[in-house]
Amino acid sequence: MRCLIALNLACACHGPSCERGPRDVEPKGRVDDAAPANDTIPANKEPSTRSHPSLTWKRHVSELLGLEIDVLADQPVFEIGEGENVGFSQQGDGVGLGISAGPMHDLASWRARLPPVAKVNAEIAVEACWRPARRLEAVLPPSNAVGITRGADGEPQHMGQQSTPGMTHVVVALKHLGRPVLLIWVVETDRRAVYRSAEDHFFSSLACHDPTSR
């Protein structure tokens, strides 16, 4: 299964230009508008060796995006896009993750690209990098596809049936350096509970940099 993103090592990020990852907004709706005075903000408090039963993390820094986040240690990182629309993605066992940024990667555009069969939950307010963000989940049902090719005689030939499990897409949308950014986590729906701690780990490991404040 290859899910194009349509995504803790505890890390220390130094200087006032570093901010931290998403969290739910408090019930009263208060949003912190500045990071604490302490200039070292860890992505979380868990030890850097923390691993999921089947996932191990490493830190990935993207100077192009002005972001850093934990990614799967044993999987390659695929750079995607060009020009103003860029990002990266990874695929693991039952999960996919990534970040995309640019004019085509706001929440409305991502939602519009979902297939009609997707069940989309209500947006909720969260915070990412100490600024307002939105979180959205979409669930795609299982599907089956039959592969067909043409033989030497030009007649169609069946290549077998491929089944795709139901998938849950979790997206956190924010703005950074003046452009939309999407953090995306994709997981097999039936295995989401197993990977729930990894999902939380991924989103909470985000840190943002502002090169102009260095």
Query: Has residue 16 got a pLDDT over 50?
Result: no
Enter the tokens of residue 120: 């989309």
The residue among 80 and 107 whose pLDDT is bigger is 107
pLDDT band at 202 (very low <50, low <70, confident <90, very high): very high
User: In this predicted structure, what is the pLDDT of residue 159?
Assistant: 64
User: In this predicted structure, what is the pLDDT of residue 40?
Assistant: 28
User: In this predicted structure, what is the pLDDT of residue 72?
Assistant: 96
Determine the Cα–Cα distance for residues 25 and 172; give it in Å rounded to an integer. Answer: 13
pLDDT of 100-158, one tens digit each?
A: 999 999 999 999 999 999 999 999 999 999 899 999 999 999 987 766 667 777 777 66
User: In this predicted structure, what is the pLDDT of residue 35?
Assistant: 34
Predicted TM-score (pTM) above 0.85:
no
The residue among 22 and 32 whose pLDDT is bigger is 22
pLDDT of 25-74, one tens digit each?
A: 433 333 233 333 332 233 333 433 344 556 899 999 998 899 999 999 99
**Averaged pLDDT score across all residues of the chain:** 77
- Domains present along the chain, CATH in parentheses: 18-25+34-141+164-213 (3.40.1000.10)
